Amino acid sequence: MTTLYLIRHGQSTANIKHIIQGQSDYPLTALGEKQASLAAKYLKNIKLDAVYASDLSRAYQTADMITEPHALKPQPEEDLREVFLGPLQGRARASVVKDYPELNHRSFVTSGIPGTETFDSISMRCLNLVQKWQRDHQGETIMAVSHGGFISIFLMYLIAGDGWHHWNRPFLIENTGITKVYFDEMGQAKIHFSNNTSHLEEL
């Protein structure tokens, strides 16, 4: 069995300004660093065998802070990046919704708007990660720090496979929200919990 902790990055400078990030690179805010520090405290007694992180700054910074008590260095992983959102990236949410009114009722990361990452590309990233982790980490506990949109899609993929994009993003993943997944001996994923933010209660 493989145990996976999925964690969203802390608050970024784009989050606080309601800017759509996609694969654009933004660092953590002071609050984001505090969130990561509290997540590190919450997870410090869990024995981790490996840590992976999106190579975008907001995720890698978060992973670096969380892994400090474990004396581990996060392994950068491009497949953990946020969904590429092309023409939407770097724009204020209000402006995008004005130009694409369908996004009032549809998640940005599952919109399929021309110029954004294709569903097939996202599915392949999910498959690559599942196969890699099951192959390399049998009997181990690992952590992956990623992004709200991609973590949501990854969970949908574990349930629905390539048909995940027919769902309208039922998972809410907040900054440093912690999700726990088991992969059993048959490779079946079991979602234990998602978006645990109890470590942030003291904020």
Profile the chain (203 residues) by mean pLDDT over runs of 10 residues.
97 96 97 98 96 98 95 96 96 92 87 93 98 95 98 97 90 97 92 98 89
H helix or E strand, kind and range, residue 180: strand 178-183
Active site residue 174: no
Instruction: List the domains of the chain with CATH numbers.
Output: 2-198 (3.40.50.1240)
Signed CA dihedral, 128, 129, 134, 138: sign only: positive
- Any known ligand binding at 13? yes
Q: What percent of the chain has pLDDT above 70? A: 100
Q: pLDDT tens-digit profile of 162-203?
A: 999 998 888 999 999 999 999 998 889 999 999 999 999 988
Q: What is the pTM of this model?
A: 0.95
Beta pairing, strands 189-196 & 178-183: antiparallel
What pairing do the DSSP bridges indicate for beta strands 178-183 and 2-8? antiparallel
Collapsing DSSP states into helix, strand and coil, what is residue 118? coil
Q: Is 24 annotated as a binding residue?
A: no
Catalytic choice (77, 82, 117, 199): 82
Annotated binding residue at 11? yes
Query: Helix 148-160 and helix 119-136: axis angle, to 10°?
Result: 80
Q: Do residues 66 and 36 touch, judged by C-beta distance below 8 A? A: yes
Average pLDDT, the chain: 95
